């Protein structure tokens, strides 16, 4: 464990020294991103260390290690993020998760949609829809990079299962607005939720609208308009 911790500190120190920059001055186009590439051995050692740091409750060092590793633009699946996300989302306080995502947003935002989606999924699995709602609202702010369609799909499904139908409709509206169509499972969940609150007409209209909507955006405007009207009426 000590040798891995020493590697973590050495790696983080080495990379920051090489770039001659420190957060928050680091940017996605800094020289360290273009020059330093992690070897397979380094990636393996990092992935061994992350769970050990998390399990020993050394989360600040785990965050620093992951953040610094992501600065080198590794392949998206090469860093084990799930254990860190699980550990951070186990705390009802969102200070650390939001701080971590803020660092990613300012230094390597290409990883933010994936990480934010993982936080969403984790909070829903833990039965914490309010925290998922906070992550959703944080990610859909104008100063954040646009989430991908998978983020919206996870949000819509999670909110629907949690009984937050209005937020689910908002997430679906953003999903369709980005040019994608909800999958069959998500559609079934939403239809069922609408029927349970006696919104029979709305469920039928939405079903018909989705039937004429294709993945490349065909018919999407009709769905967006319908969802906008449903959301507006709900809010009123």
pLDDT per position as a tens digit, 128-160: 999 999 999 999 999 999 999 999 999 999 999
- Asked if the model's pLDDT at residue 96 lies above 90, the reply is yes
Question: Do both 108 and 164 map to the same domain?
Answer: no
CB 183 within 8 A of CB 157: no
pLDDT at position 50: 94
Residues 27 and 90 in one domain: yes
Q: What is the pLDDT of residue 170?
A: 95
Alpha-carbon gap, residue 190 to 172, rounded angstroms: 9
Q: What is the mean pLDDT of residues 6-20?
A: 50
Say yes or no: 83 and 181 in one domain: no
- With 0-12 CB in 10 A as exposed, 13-18 as middle and 19+ as buried, what is 187? middle
Q: Is 212 exposed, middle or buried (CB count within 10 Å of its CB: 0-12, 13-18, 19+)?
A: exposed
Phi/psi of residue 164, nearest 5 degrees: -95, 70
pLDDT in tens, 19-39: 333 333 334 444 444 457 888
Q: What is the pTM of this model?
A: 0.83
Same domain, 217 and 135: no
Q: Does residue 212 contact residue 219 with C-beta atoms inside 8 Å?
A: yes
pLDDT value at 48 more than 90: yes
pLDDT beyond 90 at 104: yes
Q: Do 186 and 219 reside in the same domain of the chain?
A: yes
Q: Which of 123, 141, 159 is the last residue of a domain?
A: 141
Whether residues 62 and 136 fall in one domain: yes
pLDDT given for residue 214 in this prediction: 59
Per-residue buried b or exposed e for 127-162, using 16+ beta carbons within 10 Å of the residue's own CB: ebbebbbbbbebbbeeebeebbbebbbbbbbbbbeb
Over residues 44-50, the mean pLDDT reads 92
Q: How many structural domains compose the chain?
A: 2
Q: Based on the domain organization, do 126 and 164 belong to the same domain?
A: no
Q: What percent of the chain has pLDDT over 90?
A: 61
Retrieve residue 48's tokens: 């061994």
Residue recorded with tokens 């999407």:
220
Nearest to 121 by CA among 143, 145, 153: 153
Give the mean pLDDT of 207-229: 78
Question: In the structure, what pLDDT confidence band is assigned to residue 10 with cuts at 50, 70 and 90?
Answer: low
Confidence band of 64 (pLDDT split at 50, 70, 90) = very high
Mean pLDDT across the chain: 84
The pLDDT value given to residue 19: 39
pLDDT, position 26: 37
- Confidence grade of residue 18 (pLDDT, cut at 50, 70, 90): very low
Confidence of residue 221 (pLDDT cuts 50, 70, 90): confident
Whole domain around residue 117: which residue ranges?
Answer: 1-141
């Amino acid at each position: 464990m000590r040798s891995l911790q020493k590697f973590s500190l050495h790696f983080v120190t080495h990379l920051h020294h090489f770039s001659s920059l420190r957060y928050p001055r680091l940017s996605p186009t800094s020289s360290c991103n273009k020059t330093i590439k992690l070897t397979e051995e380094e990636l393996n050692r990092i992935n061994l260390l992350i769970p050990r740091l998390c399990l020993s409750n050394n989360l600040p060092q785990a965050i620093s290690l992951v953040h610094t590793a992501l600065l080198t633009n590794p392949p998206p699946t090469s860093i084990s993020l799930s254990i860190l996300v699980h550990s951070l989302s186990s705390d009802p306080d969102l200070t650390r998760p939001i701080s971590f995502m803020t660092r990613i947003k300012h230094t390597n935002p290409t990883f933010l949609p994936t990480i934010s989606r993982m936080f969403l999924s984790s909070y829903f699995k833990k039965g914490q829809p309010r925290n998922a709602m906070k992550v959703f609202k944080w990610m859909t702010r104008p100063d954040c990079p646009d989430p991908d369609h998978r983020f919206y799909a996870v949000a819509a499904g999670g909110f629907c299962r949690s009984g937050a139908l209005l937020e689910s409709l908002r997430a679906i509206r953003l999903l369709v607005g980005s040019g994608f169509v909800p999958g069959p499972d998500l559609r079934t969940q939403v239809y069922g939720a609408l029927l349970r609150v006696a919104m029979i007409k709305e469920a039928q209209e939405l079903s018909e609208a989705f039937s004429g909507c294709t993945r490349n955006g065909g018919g999407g405007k009709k769905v967006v308009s319908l969802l906008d009207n449903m959301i507006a009426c709900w809010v009123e």
